[in-house]
């Protein structure tokens, strides 16, 4: 009978199907580094408190460091017989150093151990995400600065509304990303609390020093309550929420650029290196990268829903349901990193068709609000000015003209407040565009 590390009270072997069903090693092996770092700190704390000898701690730590190297060099075998990464590492430690390995799991349970690993993983991912967000935001800002005078239609209801600059449009996304950055940074607070020492749920009677482990592992705080420590996954839900809102933003940006690359808009051309072709239609140049960013938002939202649902009915403290937190978290963390990594490259390589953007403004009545505000400056109440210009638009549609092409006589037919200065050869973007933002 293959002995489980928890096998003392069992008389029968675990059914193979149960082993397979309960195993998480296929996905939680990602946590090997956090697990080993956590175990090293724990061993040091046990030795400092005299719970194990300094010599035993040194043997344990040496063994753990060797296991880390084995894993990184691909010399580590995984089996569903050993449930998860914690059991794998502990069992390998037994093989390497014998019964001394059994001392590592003193004043600790897998419940606080897995919670610790998850906290460390989320902390790392928050730092990584904030770095990637800064790069993307920097690219957007630079591109916006380059296009301060690139006039384009601004839309509401996807109908041309008022002229804006591409800079204003791009900076809208820049500011969304700044909020994402703040959101992720504040999620760090929830991740930066150390659960280790809570053990299974009730702490330990041994004279452990959690404060010392906290310091070794660089956490800001310790959980005040041991049951909360092992059953809290708020920090995972927070990360997934921040990621979902971020994906809303990336997906909107992707959708907009996709629209702009269509021949109907023709505002943007993607670089060949960041577009794909069709296997049947030779003329096609498809924005697959952007479509995938838009599509991947679905799985990120799904992971948040999964996590909320996993947690919502759980009695305190640890329940095995919580093992389901990992795939959702890993998948989201990897998905947002991939999206944040590729999007800046799409942006810096794409070509902006300034003329088509300007033409799209010319071909529209996007300057109507400008003329209404002209009348307001001459003293007309805005509601009345709106009505007057509305009538002018209707007149222009009938005549096949644009407002700016009307003669002074035609202007004056609508209101005496129009002066000669309303008719100009060409109106500079500065005049008709609010560039305050
Ligand atoms: N693989 C488990 C998880 O991810 C580790 C904790 C197991 N604890 C237990 N009491 N069975 O949650």
**What distance in Å separates the CA atoms of residue 175 and residue 193, rounded to the nearest whole number?**
29
- In angstroms, what is the span from residue 84 Cα to ligand 1's centroid? 8
CA torsion sign for 88, 89, 91, 96 is positive
Report whether residue 111 contacts ligand 1, using a CB cutoff of 6 Å.
Answer: yes
pLDDT the model gives residue 83: 94
- In angstroms, what is the span from residue 321 Cα to ligand 1's centroid? 9
Contact 217, 253 (CB under 8 A): no
Out of 323, 325, 326, mutate this one to test ligand 1's pocket (max ligand atoms within 8 Å of CB): namely: 323
- In angstroms, what is the span from residue 100 Cα to ligand 1's centroid? 23
Report whether residue 114 contacts ligand 1, using a CB cutoff of 6 Å.
Answer: yes
Out of 25, 110, 314, mutate this one to test ligand 1's pocket (max ligand atoms within 8 Å of CB): namely: 110
Report residues of the chain scoring pLDDT below 50: 1
Catalytic annotation present for 186: no
- In angstroms, what is the span from residue 214 Cα to ligand 1's centroid? 22
Q: Tell which residue, 123, 334, 120, has the closest CA to residue 243.
A: 334
Domains and CATH numbers, the chain: 7-106 (1.10.275.10), 111-206+218-358 (1.20.200.10), 367-436 (1.10.40.30)
Report whether residue 104 contacts ligand 1, using a CB cutoff of 6 Å.
Answer: no
Alpha helices in 103-233 (DSSP H): 110-146, 166-191, 210-217, 226-231
- In angstroms, what is the span from residue 78 Cα to ligand 1's centroid? 17
CA torsion sign for 167, 172, 175, 181 is negative
Report whether residue 118 contacts ligand 1, using a CB cutoff of 6 Å.
Answer: no
Residue keyed to tokens 């999620």? 187
Closest residue CA from atom 12 of ligand 1:
323
The interaxial angle of helices 85-97 and 54-72, nearest 10 deg, is 120
Cα separation of the two ends of the chain: 72
Catalytic annotation present for 157: yes
Residue 160: its H or E element: strand 159-165
List, for residues 99-138, the tens digit of each pLDDT value: 999 999 999 999 999 999 999 999 999 999 999 999 999 9
pLDDT the model gives residue 430: 62
What are the CA-CA distances from residue 281 to residues 266, 276, 285, 370 (Å)? 19, 12, 9, 44
- Which member of 2, 53, 220, 278 is catalytic? 278
């Amino acid at each position: 009978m293959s002995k489980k590390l928890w096998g003392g009270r069992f008389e029968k072997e675990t059914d193979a199907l149960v082993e397979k069903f309960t195993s998480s090693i296929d996905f939680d092996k990602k946590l090997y580094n956090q697990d080993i770092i956590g175990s090293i700190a724990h061993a040091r704390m046990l030795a400092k408190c005299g719970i194990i000898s300094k010599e035993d701690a040194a043997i344990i730590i040496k063994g753990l460091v060797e296991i880390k190297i084995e894993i990184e060099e691909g010399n580590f075998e995984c089996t569903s017989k050993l449930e998860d990464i914690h059991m794998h590492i502990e069992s390998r430690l037994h093989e390497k150093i014998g019964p001394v390995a059994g001392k590592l799991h003193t004043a600790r349970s897998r419940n606080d151990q897995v919670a610790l690993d998850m906290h460390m993983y989320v902390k790392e991912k928050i730092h990584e995400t904030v770095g990637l967000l800064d790069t993307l935001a920097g690219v957007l800002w630079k591109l916006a600065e380059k296009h301060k005078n690139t006039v384009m239609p601004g839309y509401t209801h996807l109908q041309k509304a008022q002229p804006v600059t591409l800079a204003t449009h791009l900076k809208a996304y820049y500011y969304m990303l700044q909020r994402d950055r703040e959101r992720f940074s504040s999620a760090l607070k929830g991740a930066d609390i150390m659960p280790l020492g809570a053990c299974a749920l009730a702490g330990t009677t041994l004279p452990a020093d959690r404060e010392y482990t906290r310091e070794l592992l660089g956490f800001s705080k310790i959980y005040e309550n041991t049951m909360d420590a092992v059953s809290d996954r708020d920090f995972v839900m927070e990360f997934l929420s921040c990621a979902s809102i971020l994906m809303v933003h990336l997906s909107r940006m992707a959708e907009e650029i996709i629209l702009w690359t269509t021949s109907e808009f023709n505002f943007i051309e993607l670089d060949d290196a960041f577009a794909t072709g069709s296997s049947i239609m030779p003329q096609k140049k498809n924005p697959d990268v952007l479509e995938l960013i838009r599509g991947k938002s679905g799985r990120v939202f799904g992971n948040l829903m999964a996590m909320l649902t996993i947690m919502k009915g759980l009695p305190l403290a640890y329940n095995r349901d919580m093992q389901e937190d990992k795939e959702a978290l890993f998948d989201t963390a990897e998905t947002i990193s991939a999206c944040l990594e590729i999007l800046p490259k799409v942006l810096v390589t794409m070509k902006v068709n300034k003329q088509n953007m300007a033409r799209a403004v010319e071909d529209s009545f996007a300057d109507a609000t400008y003329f209404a505000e002209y009348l307001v400056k001459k003293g007309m109440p805005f509601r009345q000015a709106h009505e007057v210009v509305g009538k002018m638009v209707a007149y222009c549609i009938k005549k096949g003209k644009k407002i700016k092409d009307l003669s002074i006589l035609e202007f004056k037919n609508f209101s005496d407040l129009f002066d000669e200065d309303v008719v100009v050869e060409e109106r500079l973007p500065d005049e008709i565009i609010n560039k305050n933002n």
